[in-house]
């Protein structure tokens, strides 16, 4: 429908003015404002909390962060070129369950300043070139619809054509129900993207944030060469509540947390967000081929 006519265009940050940063602070903060850790209630000066990458220095809770913040946290300063793909809005089912899907999309765009649940940038990490594809849970629960799937596939193609490693930060409730079967197909589309990166011999590192479920986990999020996750992130295919209701089984302690999945052999490492950039940089160095 809207494959790129020519090469993907890139432009320097900032691509557009954001109404407000997506993520934890949905109300504008001033210098003197404080933010409470949602887990332990400890209060922080907003600037200091941001400097700690929204990790509580008291209890270690990792607050959710938006795609733009992810890119800023991981990329070298001044290295970021946000990629704009100009992908048309999709509504294959003309979905309307009281609120038309197109209205929900418009509201999500207004609230987050994002076009879709994915933000993609070319950047460097410790000088090493990457394509960074970051999901934003604030945009309709980070759900994977066909526009988001197309963005991820194009990010993969950009990584291949530019010979860059792919780094994806995944946080999502799963497939976007409002696009029905078209959103299911995105699992296949994104898998094609990962296959292309893999065939090109480029490393793909995936970071799983809280939460990550459904068709996102069951496709590109875990198709990486190295799978990292943040501490305490809830990750799985079916949600814990769904499982409890369906099976009447009592869920084990820590079920579907990063630590649980690490113990079950599903992840390579659980990494504190404050060490994520260093860890990814080390991996990129190790996986880079001699030129």
Partner 1 sequence: MSTSTETTDREQAAFAAVELARHPARPRALEVIGVAFDDWTELRGDRLFGEDRAVVGGPARLGGRSVMVIGQEKGTDPMTRALHNFGMPHPEGYRKAQRLMRQAEKFAMPVICLVDTPAAYAGIGAEERGQAWAIAESLLCMLAVRTPTVSIVLSEGGSGGALALAVADRVLALENAVYTVAPPETCAAILYRDAGQRARAAAALRPGVDTAYDIGLVDELIPEPPPGAHAHADVVIGAIRGALIRHLNELEQIPLDALLEQRAERYRRAGG
Residues that bind partner 1 (CB under 8 A): 1, 3, 90, 92-93, 95-98, 146, 149, 153, 173, 175, 177-189, 191-196, 214-215, 217-223, 236-238, 242-243, 246-247, 249, 251-252, 255-256, 264-266
Find, among 140, 252, 156, 169, the residue nearest to 199 by Cα.
156
DSSP states along 87-142: PPP--TT--BSSSBHHHHHHHHHHHHS-SSSEEEEEEEETTEEEEEEEE-TTTGGG
Q: How far apart are CB 56 and partner 1 at their closest, in Å?
A: 27
Residue 27 vs 94, nearer CB to partner 1: 94
CB of 134 to partner 1, least distance (A): 19
Least Å distance between CB 138 and partner 1? 17
Which residue number, 15 or 236, has a Cβ lying nearer to partner 1?
Answer: 236
Considering only CA atoms, which of 72, 82, 289 is closest in space to residue 165? 289
Nearer to partner 1, 265 or 290 (CB): 265
For the bound state, the minimum distance from the C-beta of residue 8 to partner 1, rounded and expressed in Å, comes to: 15
Question: Which residue, 50 or 115, is less far from partner 1 as judged by CB?
Answer: 115
- The CA distances from residue 173 to 65, 121, 217, 235, 245, in Å, are 15, 22, 9, 10, 18
Provide the angle, in degrees to the nearest 10, between the axes of the packed helices 146-162 and 180-199: 10
Q: How far is the CB of 162 from partner 1 (least distance, A)?
A: 18
**In the Cβ-directed half-sphere of 218, how many Cα atoms lie within 13 Å?**
16
Decide if 235 contacts 211 (C-beta within 8 A): yes
User: 113 vs 149, which CB is nearer to partner 1?
Assistant: 149
Residue 51, Cβ neighbours under 10 Å: how many?
11
Taking the complex as a whole, the smallest distance from the CB of residue 98 to partner 1 amounts, in Å, to 6
Joined together, the tokens standing for residue 33 give 């404002």
**Backbone Cα Rg of the chain:** 18
Q: Residue 91 and residue 97: Cα distance in Å, rounded?
A: 13
Name the residue nearer to partner 1 (CB basis): 22 or 173: 173
Which of residues 63 and 178 has its CB atom nearest to partner 1 in the complex?
Answer: 178
Helix (H) / strand (E) element for 205: namely strand 204-212
């Amino acid at each position: 429908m809207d494959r790129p006519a020519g090469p993907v265009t890139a432009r320097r940050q900032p691509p557009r003015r954001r109404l407000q940063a997506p993520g934890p602070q949905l109300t504008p903060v001033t210098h003197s404002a404080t933010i409470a850790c949602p887990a332990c209630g400890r209060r922080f000066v907003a600037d200091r909390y941001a400097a700690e990458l929204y990790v509580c220095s008291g209890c270690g809770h990792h607050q959710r962060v938006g795609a733009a913040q992810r890119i800023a946290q991981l990329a070298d300063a001044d290295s970021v070129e946000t990629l704009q793909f100009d992908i048309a809005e999709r509504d294959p089912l003309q979905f309307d369950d009281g609120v038309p899907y197109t209205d929900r999309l418009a509201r999500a765009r207004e609230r987050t300043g994002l076009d879709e649940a994915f933000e993609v940038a070319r950047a460097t990490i410790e000088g090493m070139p990457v394509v960074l594809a970051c999901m934003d849970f604030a945009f309709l629960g980070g759900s994977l619809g066909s526009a988001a799937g197309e963005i991820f596939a194009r990010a993969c193609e950009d990584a291949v054509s530019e010979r860059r490693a792919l780094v994806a930060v995944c946080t999502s409730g799963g497939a976007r129900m409002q696009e029905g079967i078209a959103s299911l197909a995105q699992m296949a589309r994104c898998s094609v993207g990962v296959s292309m990166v893999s065939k090109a011999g480029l490393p793909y590192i995936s970071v799983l944030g809280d939460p990550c479920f459904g068709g996102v986990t069951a496709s590109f999020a875990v198709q990486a060469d190295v799978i990292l996750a943040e501490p305490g992130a809830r990750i799985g295919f079916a949600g814990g509540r769904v499982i409890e209701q369906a099976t009447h089984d009592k869920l084990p302690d820590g079920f579907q947390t990063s630590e649980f999945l690490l113990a079950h052999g599903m992840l390579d490492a659980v990494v504190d967000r404050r060490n994520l950039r260093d860890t990814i940089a080390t991996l990129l160095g190790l996986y880079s081929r001699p030129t």
